[in-house]
Amino acid sequence: MMKLQTIKRLGGLVLFMAGNSYAQMTPVGTWHSIDDKTGEPKAEIQIVEKDGVLTGRIAKSLRSEAAAKKICDECQDDRKGKEIIGLEIIRAVKLDPANEFTWGSGGKILDPENGKEYTVKMMPKEGGIKLLVRGYIGPFYRSQTWLRVQ
């Protein structure tokens, strides 16, 4: 009887851990974006979901004050002249119906350093600890790996 009870507890623990891991396989949460040149975290990005659509904002700069850009001067849309902190850089991202762990479906991501907007795909990796963020212009793309803030 004791063995059966132990097996049930272990099974429940495994199911709990698997469900918890699956819950992390989404871009929703807080991430550190990484500078391509230095490899250092440059910003904290908060991604939220509402009605199946993801948006993301810069919650905090992680750069030194001297290196931190304050305003999005190069932005070409409603974000032009807005403060970088609080700026919505991810818009209209939806789950790709063909792949349960890929988000994009026409969503866009803004690089506030140059004001360019890219079509985006986001794919959680390593159990949701990392997020592969890929911005596209036509067939060309640039990838970054963001790290989930624990």
Q: What is the pLDDT along the chain (150 residues), one digit of tens a residue?
A: 556 554 555 444 443 444 444 447 999 999 999 988 888 999 999 999 999 999 999 999 998 776 677 899 999 999 999 999 999 999 999 999 888 889 999 899 999 989 999 999 999 999 999 999 999 998 999 999 999 998
Judged by DSSP in three states, 17 sits in helix
Whole-number Cα distances in Å, 93 to 64, 107, 118: 30, 4, 12
Q: What is the pLDDT of residue 37?
A: 85
Domains delineated in the chain? 26-148 (2.40.128.520)
pTM above 0.95, yes or no: no
Q: Check residue 8 and give its pLDDT.
A: 52
